[in-house]
Amino acid sequence: MARENIIYGVHPIIEALKSGKTIEKILLQTNISNDAIRSVKEELRTSGQYAKIQYVPIEKLNSLARGGNHQGVVAIASLVEYKELEEVVEQSMEKGENPFIVMLDHVTDVRNLGAIARTCECAGVTCLIVPEEGSAGINEDAVKTSAGALLRLPICKIKNVKTALNYLKQCGLKIFAASEKANYVYSDQNFTEPSLIIMGAEDKGISKEALKMSDELIKIPIIGNIESLNVSVAAGVIIYEVVRQRNIK
C-alpha cells in the first residue's frame, strides 16, 4: 500500500478531514473506544464524507503505521482527486462535446472497478461515477488494474444516486441501465446522443431506484449456460458499442 495515502494518529486524521482530504477507509483498533476515537468519528460525520469504518487487530495498525504512534486509528486516503459531476458535465458541454458517462451502481470489487476505468479511459468516456456508499475504494490494486486510467479519467463520487440521475436527465442525457431482465438488446439502441450507461453490482445488479429512473433497460444476449458476464466485460461490450455508433456518425 502506498505510504503517501496512509495517515495515522488521531490529530493527523482529524486535520486531514478538516482540510477536505478524501478518506476512503478508517481502521480502528478492535475493542477501542475513547474520547479521541469518538472525536475522529465526529469529524468524519461533520465533514460529510462517507468512509467505511472497520475494526482490525492492533497488529494490522502497527504494520500500516510501521511503528508510528497510531493511537488505535489509521486512515486510508484516496489515491485520486475526485471531480464534481456538475463541473465535469458543464465543461464537456461548453466544449461542444457529446457527453458519454458511465456509472457504477455499488460495484465493490476493486479489480472490476479498475478494469472498467481502463476501458472508459480508452473509449474517451467523459467521466466515471461511483456512489460514496457501498462502492469499491480506489486503492493500489484498482489503480494497477486500470493501468493508471484512474489517475487520468475524471472520477465523480456522488452522495445520492437519485439526485445525480435527476441532474443528468435535466442536462439532456438519456439513461441506459444494463440488466439481465431487459427486453431490449444493447446494440439496438441509439447511443449517438448524450448518454449515461449504468452498470450494476456483481451480485445484485442495479438498484431498484436506479432502474426506475432509467429511460431504457438494455441487455447483452447470453447464448451459453452461464447466466451473466463479469461486470467489467459487460461494460466493455456496451461502451465500445457506443464508440462504434459515434464513429459511424
Reported as a single tens digit per residue, the pLDDT across 66-115 is 989 999 999 998 888 899 999 999 999 999 999 999 999 989 999 999 99
Reported as a single tens digit per residue, the pLDDT across 130-175 is 998 888 888 888 999 999 999 999 999 998 999 999 999 999 999 9
In this prediction, residue 2 has a pLDDT band, given cuts at 50, 70 and 90, of low
In this prediction, residue 249 has a pLDDT band, given cuts at 50, 70 and 90, of low
Find the helix or strand (DSSP H, E) in which 56 lies: strand 52-56
Question: Cα torsion at 40, 42, 47, 49 (round to 10°)?
Answer: 80
pTM of the model: 0.86
| Mean pLDDT (the chain, rounded) | 92
Percent of the chain with pLDDT over 90: 76
109, 159, 172: which is closest to 133 by C-alpha? 159
